[in-house]
Amino acid sequence: MSDSAPLKVAYGDVEPTRRQGGEIRVLLTPASVGATAGFMGVLTIGPGEYVSEHYHPYSDEFLFVSEGAVDVRLDGEHVRLEADDALMVRRGTRHRLSCGGTQAAKLVFHLGPLAPRPNLGHVDTEPLPHPEAPVPKVGGQG
């Protein structure tokens, strides 16, 4: 990969996963563009859907709501995010997102810094809604 090559990834070229709930597409990652400081993607949550509670032991998570609204539970505390709102979830904070409205919510997320290995970057704290679905491909070392 050339240092001057565009590091572009098209939304439609990334296979979504529903493993944790909603529809998650990780776009700019160590695997897709050689990212070394974090990764970013898009989350869509339909009415009545949720992303199961989890935390990131090594990364802060940055959320931006581009459409709709979501309810976020942070270590048990409720925060409502509307379109054009942003939220930083500090590393180690348990968080769960849900869409209680009648319109789907679309969010852009970024996590950084990267965990030492992808399998260490995410810890589920409640059962997954679709455990049979594929794990999002972030890449990097084992």
Residue 5 has pLDDT above 80, yes or no: no
pLDDT band at 3 (very low <50, low <70, confident <90, very high): low
pLDDT band at 140 (very low <50, low <70, confident <90, very high): low
In this structure, the strands spanning 69-74 and 95-98 are: antiparallel
pLDDT of residue 135: 87
Buried b (16+ CB within 10 A) or exposed e, 41-52: bbbbbeeebbbb
Lowest mean pLDDT among 95-99, 111-115, 118-122: 118-122
pLDDT in tens, 38-92: 999 999 999 999 999 999 999 999 999 999 999 999 999 999 999 999 999 999 9
For domain 16-120, give its CATH number from 3.10.20.600, 3.40.1710.10, 2.60.120.10, 3.40.50.720. Answer: 2.60.120.10
* pTM value > 0.85: yes
Identify the three-state secondary structure at position 67.
strand
Domain ranges for the chain? 16-120
- Give the C-alpha separation, 43 to 50, whole Å: 11
What tokens appear for 33 in the block? Answer: 């563009």
Polymer length in residues for the chain: 142
